[in-house]
Structure 1
Amino acid sequence: MVDYTVRLATPDDLPALMALRSEAERWLADAGIDQWSDPDLGERAIRSWHERIDREQTWVFTTPDDTIAGTISRGRADTDFWREDDAPSSALYLYKLIVARTHSGEQLGARILDWYSTIAAAEGKLWIRLDVWRNNRKLQEYYTKLGFEHVRTERVSSRLSGWLGQRPAGSLTLPDRLLPVIPSPLPKQYAAEVAAAQQSATTLSQQVAALLLTLQQTSVPVTGPVRWEYDRVGENLNLAGSAIRRALEHLGQASNSTTLLPEPTSLQWAAAPSSSTESSTPADAPSTS
């Protein structure tokens, strides 16, 4: 089993992401599905991916050599399809789910959906939702097999998508193969390390104060060059003492805040970045997996 890792996409990943999309286009065409066959959609896909990457809303799933094997993006509910009575804010909406054909037999698509479902639950959502092209029966069946319920099909004249599905947030189809939802956990001893830094700063502050006191209790030199250096030592010790006291204040605040952080294994750390400017990309419904 491939040991996949998860990370946010960067602008440097765009060529690889477009290569994934092109591969998916060819696969869809071979299957007799005209999804994404319009060249204009590719241009819109590039713009959309740029926007989502800039907003930290696109993730890539990579092999040990950092080859991108799959991707998924998040976004707002598409208002052409989802209504107010669907309670749009109750769900996390997925877009651009694509898996490389070379990894299609490893259930990576299902594992990415489980990962996304876990993220949704961590954010307090009730559902993960998607829209699929109305003529893509195979993809509709794929999602249905992975726990998505067909909500309804919306037929918007200017849109080819509209098959709407949702699945309960937190539901898993492969619970024993969950992708890492906390790829870089906070060390368990982090709060202790912050407290230790605070203590070290306290000790340093005391040392500087003692050095300054010793200097002040020493005979003041009268010769010009020595007096000048003497004054410079005192000035810099005073500046150092002030800086350390400010650092101590901030370290104290940081130490207090670390006590409020959840345990490193808490799913609260799994919440993925979101943005108040999240927007859907109508031309880019999720791809085959």
Structure 2
Amino acid sequence: MVYRDATADDAKAIAEFCARTFVDTFGHLYPPEDLSAYLAAKYSEAMQREEIADPSIRYRLALNGDAIAGYCMMGDLDMEVDDTRALELHRLYVDAHIKGAGVAAALMDDCLAWARAKGAEQLYLSVWEENHRAQAFYKRYGFEHVGEHKFMVGNTADRDFIWRLTL
């Protein structure tokens, strides 16, 4: 596995990977029109290109050969918490066939090192209330459940838990 930062040339592959892993993980939860609207808004190639170009966002890729096997996206805090010295782990996804192989852990370790190097004192993330596997993973890193918020997928509102780690 090779780990590196994303470039604009990766935008199409990232968009495809993001959409596929989101659908694989959560697609069964949503009406098709809500899922389609969400994917178009969040995971288009243009959106990935824009996020990669944003200096406040870091995309880190795990590559198995030329194929994306996992990624994480970090950046400024978007959620409604009052914490000026914090960053947010926006996404961390790994291909289903390699879950448990250490890729998520390597990406998380990189995220934590990056956040510390940026001077963050806290790292936040949100996770769907029923994603127990992800919650167990975050607990192993010392994240604590500190709140909740609505996560919108089209017109569907999910309850996500807000987790925080003191760095």
Match of 1:106 among 77, 101, 119: 101
Query: Are 1:41 and 2:42 an aligned pair?
Result: no
**Whole-Å separation in 1 of the counterparts to 2:31 and 2:17:** 14
**Whole-Å separation in 1 of the counterparts to 2:31 and 2:143:** 21
Q: What are the ranges of 5 or more consecutive residues in structure 2 without an aligned counterpart?
A: none
Structure 1 residues 48, 131: CA separation in 2 closer, same or farther (over 3 Å shift)?
Answer: farther
- Count how many residue pairs are aligned between Structure 1 and Structure 2: 159
Larger RCO: Structure 1 or Structure 2 (Cα < 8 Å, ≥ 6 residues apart)? Answer: 1
One-letter code aligned to 1:5 = Y
One-letter code aligned to 2:37 = D
Q: CA RMSD in A?
A: 2.9
Q: Provide the secondary structure at the position in 2 that maps to 1:110.
A: helix
Contact 2:149 2:162 (8 Å CA) reproduced: yes
Structure 1 residues 54, 143: CA separation in 2 closer, same or farther (over 3 Å shift)?
Answer: same
What is the TM-score of this pair, normalised by structure 1? 0.48
Match of 2:160 among 156, 162, 171: 162
* Superposed CA offset, 1:9-47 (max 9, x none): 2232122212322332343258x5449961111111225
Could you say which structure has the larger radius of gyration?
Answer: 1
* Superposed CA offset, 1:102-140 (max 9, x none): 332312112111111111111221122111233434433
2:90 maps to which residue? 95
Q: What are the ranges of 5 or more consecutive residues in structure 1 without an aligned counterpart?
A: 170-289
Match of 2:10 among 5, 8, 13: 13
Contact 1:28 1:35 (8 Å CA) reproduced: no
Structure with greater proportional helix content: 1
Structure 1 residues 135, 48: CA separation in 2 closer, same or farther (over 3 Å shift)?
Answer: farther
4+ long deviations beyond 6 Å:
none
Contact 1:33 1:136 (8 Å CA) reproduced: no
CA-CA distance at 1:53 after TM superposition = 0.9
CA-CA distance at 1:52 after TM superposition = 1.0
**Whole-Å separation in 2 of the counterparts to 1:147 and 1:134:** 18
What is the TM-score of this pair, normalised by structure 2? 0.77
1:54 maps to which residue? 53
Taking only the aligned residue pairs, the percentage that are identical comes to 22
**Whole-Å separation in 2 of the counterparts to 1:161 and 1:53:** 28
